[in-house]
Amino acid sequence: MSASLEKGVRVLKEVIDAPIASYFSSCVHCGLCAEACLFYTETGDPKYTPIHKLEPLRRLYEQEYTLLGRLGKLVGLSKPVTDDELEEWKELVYNSCTLCGRCSAVCPVGNDIVYMVRKFREGMSASGHAPEGIIGAVNRTVTIGSPMGVKLPAVKAQMKHVEEDYGLPIPLDAEGAEYMVMLSSMEIINFPEYLAAIAKIMHQAGKTWTLCSTAFEATNAGMQIGNSDLAKLLVMRIVDGAEKLKVKTVISPECGHAYTALRWEGANLIGRPFTFKVQHIIEVLGEFQEQGLLKTEGFETDKLTFHDPCQLARRGGVIKQQRNLMNMVSKNFVEMPDAGYMNWCCGGGGGASAIEEGEELRMEAFKKKKSQLDVVKPDRLVTACANCRIVLEEGLEHYQMDIPVLGLTELIAEHIPDQTSEKGA
């Protein structure tokens, strides 16, 4: 119970760096970032302009780190940041921002707006202005081990199911395995097919792999709320697990933010490079495909389209692999407009899906995805992020669109020939 404005300001002073200073000095108020943000395009409300979501941070930067800003604060030209203001900005910084990075992608002066929102959240959370929903998720992740409250027994139950259903072993805490597979709690609860798919794929590729009993949850609510200390704590669990099991590669599950947290923020959070490699499952599949370790049979014939998770594609650089994989198993794969690097967010990333009071806005923003889908009119929608999947399902239901959503890994696994016979051999 110690969050305070003072603490928030201090944290912001800590995280403001040269890129932020450069970005604020470069902004010409052209408003192009608004055109890239689905919360603006679907509501038409200018307060959702991405750069505007950073207004308190901008003022704080100027007041603390520029001579003129300090002067302005002294003579009262520039008003200090207040608790009330931050509370008002909560909606802008969390509910209406999924850290999707489209604004950063279009800014003509090159401002990485998401980079700044991520840092601004440090101050928002430290000053007690993070939304209850995300605080709850963080709480559960830290205390229970996963944002949805999933504990190891639940995982073990899943493992048992899969082993029984598919006849494939699910290794746990196998030291020296090549891959350590992470899960997101959504997959544990809602999409158990994922675990089965991994088992099939790994088996076919002939790779050793394992789950880790102390680090099975990959999602990082600490990063979503914007608190590096807590995010570090969560990353550290995975690092400890991976180092304990001496694995070569940790596979981030079909979850965008888990990937960003582990792949790009992880080493920086713990302050040292990892001793292992981090890959998204799609990257691994891509690699297997390239090396001929992934063999599929048969094709889907209905019309499929692919929703790129922002953190995987735009913010993660994995764009080609999912397309190659889609074409491997589908005869009728059609791209949505803006697909790939400029794909539109599902509207629930960055922790936004955990905010109950943001649901209405989320549904409003989903109209963007709806319009994309309306162009393609797919029979099914494939993605590679469990969170996207949930949000997409909610949205599709809300707009009464009958389009099933499935994970790419499962889709691939479905086309892997039955291996039970081989197992006996």
Q: Tell me 37's DSSP state.
A: -
Nearest 5°: the CA angle 61, 40, 338 is 110
19 touching other proteins, by CB under 8 A: yes
Contact region with other proteins (CB under 8 A), list: 207-215, 264-272, 322-330, 395-403 = 264-272
Find the shortest distance in angstroms from Cβ 280 to other proteins.
11
To the nearest whole angstrom, how small is the minimum distance from the Cβ of residue 33 to other proteins?
9
Question: Counting contacts by CB under 8 A, is residue 287 touching other proteins?
Answer: no
Q: What is the DSSP string of 158-207?
A: HHHHHHHHH-----BS-TT-SEEE-B-HHHHHT-THHHHHHHHHHHHHT-
22 touches other proteins by CB under 8 A? yes
* Contact flag: residue 230 with other proteins (CB under 8 A): yes
Among 173, 178, 287, 338, binds other proteins (CB under 8 A): 338
274 binds other proteins, rule: CB under 8 A: yes
Instruction: Map residue 283 onto helix, strand or coil.
Output: helix
Question: From the list 85, 90, 106, 190, which residue makes contact with other proteins (rule: CB under 8 A)?
Answer: 106
How big is the site for other proteins, counted in residues (CB under 8 A)? 83
Q: How far is C-alpha 91 from the geometric centre of its chain's CA atoms? A: 19
In the complex, the smallest distance separating the C-beta of residue 360 from other proteins, rounded to whole angstroms, is 21
Segment near other proteins (CB under 8 A), from 30-38, 197-205, 363-371, 383-391? Answer: 30-38
How far, in Å, CA of 172 to CA of 169, rounded? Answer: 9
Q: Does the footprint of other proteins cover residue 142 (CB under 8 A)?
A: yes
Helical packing angle, 83-90 and 55-65, nearest 10°: 140
Minimum CB separation from other proteins for residue 1, in Å? 5
Cα dist from 73 to 51, 60, 79, 120, 412, whole Å: 21, 10, 6, 20, 59
Looking at the Cβ atoms of 152 and 267, the one nearer to other proteins is 267
According to CB under 8 A, which residues from 306 to 325 bind other proteins? 314-317
**Which CB sits closer to other proteins, 329 or 385?**
385
Name the amino acid, one letter, at 219. Answer: T
Q: Closest CB to other proteins among 13 and 295?
A: 13
Residue 108 touches other proteins, criterion: CB under 8 A? yes
Nearer to other proteins, 196 or 231 (CB): 231
- Residue 139, interface with other proteins (CB under 8 A)? yes
Interior angle at CA 270, CA 266 and CA 276, nearest 5: 55
Task: Give min distance, CB of 422 to other proteins, in A.
Answer: 34
Query: Do residues 26 and 111 touch, judged by C-beta distance below 8 A?
Result: yes
- Window 144 to 173, contacts with other proteins (CB under 8 A): none
Region of 209-217, 227-235, 375-383, 414-422 interacting with other proteins (CB under 8 A) = 227-235
Binding to other proteins, residues 361-420 (CB under 8 A) = none
Per-residue exposure over 320-349, b if at least 16 CB sit within 10 Å of its own CB, e if not? ebbbebbebbbeebbbbeebeeebbbbbbb
Find the part of the chain contacting other proteins (CB under 8 A) among 65-73, 174-182, 208-216, 285-293.
Answer: 65-73
Residue whose tokens read 């650089």: 317
Nearest 10 degrees: CA dihedral of 381, 382, 387, 393?
Answer: 20
Minimum CB separation of residue 223 from other proteins in Å reads 13
The region that residue 44 occupies, defined by phi over 0 for left and psi between -120 and 50 for alpha, beta otherwise, is left
DSSP letter (8 states) at residue 145: S
Q: Give 390-402 as a DSSP string.
A: HHHHHHHHHTT--
Among 74, 109, 157, 375, binds other proteins (CB under 8 A): 109
